[in-house]
Structure 1
């Protein structure tokens, strides 16, 4: 059958994609390991430079003290010719000269070591960031491989019945949201990797306390505090993007209201949110799907529309839920083909269409150059579907 041949072709494509991903994953792993070895080497050298810098600073302090005393001695013997002989004057002069030369050499060494210390600290931070990026890419590849390695025959058997398309879409979204909740809990409970480099920088600051460079230590501590604040902000943002906690606790409308408020604060784009009809709780998967669609539409308005106002209206009807997102931005030609949409950075619209189709809903776009954009999404609200998914709420 032609249907079976298509499935076999899809399976072959997925197998090739899996092989490419596994090879790429191994290359990323090798890059990450090389970076770790480089980091260990840099940390050893930095530790050696820190120790040598401390010793050199102490030597410079001692030489400055000795040279000051030698100059005082030279002044004394030069003034009193009756008390001191020419030999004493010559000895005092040579001592002062030798100390001055030694002091110049060690000051130069101190300057070089401080410069080298700064370069090593920058390289350590850069390598740490490279390792973090490589680990993040490896984790993303693992997620993709898990999806690609699934049982394709099982999926194709389910897809034979078109009446189950919405149920399949919701179950896929439910599985994705469950995974997001798991990742969100892990990040929330122990974000150790994102803060690991703070340990090294704290140790460096601790070692520098013994060098009497309090201003440098103070600057390092200020940077540490700034980085911790940035990391905490990023963690909170990741947790919200993975799974808004309010979606489970309060439902779709309060979560959308909070999202719209945060969007306005973050982007300085004015927003408006209206609710029409009696609010209803839906299945967790359906609420998550609606939230992601709004998130995608607002993201498109922010990235591409150059809008100063974005509005959201949610209408609860007897059998459907309607979302309307409007912006007053630059707009675009709605009748562009899919290929042109991809080339004009409108690929997010294609993803929204596919997601709405999985929900057996419909999505329409109304736009024109200089006329803003309106996105209307209508999704069925079917009680029997909620029951199939195990949702018993009202």
Structure 2
């Protein structure tokens, strides 16, 4: 089962809103209510006129839908605040359509319905009921404004909307629960596969290395120095080979290709400067990034010297990693282990590539 990520979900909702708005605009313009708009049509539709306020509201919604779609498609704008803002705007547009038509058109029904459906898709039952309640309250307010003496005759219409909202929210909640179950099953299956691979590979090699170390101890006790050195060299080769295979396996799990930099272990001079005032959890993550930077420099950079600095202020933690080694082969090649950790923390990683001048990484992490 292919999971829809949050950015993909927001793009689908934005595309659906744009298509919905476009269809409504076409329906309003083509609807034969005003021969001045469609002089070639003579049929009559419903009783409300297509005035400037109504048409302007529909066109403004089309502009709003287009801008939201372009924003999501171009910059990947997502997040709970963005979702709440667009949903609230959709509800207000439904109320605006109801207001400018003075209830003489049922066109505001699908506008309210769209806001309810997108809430069900995003959040499930609870938030959908909140959006439904807000929509019904706005609808009742419009009814009170139009027919204050006959409001009792129209109260069932918002009730129907609330019934629809409950059904959509319930189905959305069930979808989220089923998707969570599928993800749990897939995670368990992946953990089982990883455990099996590690048992058949790494664990078996460690067991063999343990036997080799025991043999080395016996050679040392017997004073067979030459044989001991030969076995230690073989042992080192086995460890290096297993280390490379394990790193390749981890990279395959992370979904990245093989490292472009050649593995050439060295022991450069590394200067580390830390000036941090942040939470313990964030400091721990920063130290892990620094540690991974040191490992990468020693194994891949071929550098003679490097400088790693980390400092914090009220809003961000800035980390820089610079060395005088071979650098990266291209602008798209980045240390995946550092990049994945930075992305998980909501930060950014920028890389400056200059041929022959080493690698230069700048990392920014939010302090909260």
Q: Which TM-score band (shorter chain)?
A: 0.3 to 0.5
Larger Rg over CA atoms:
1
Higher relative helix content: 1
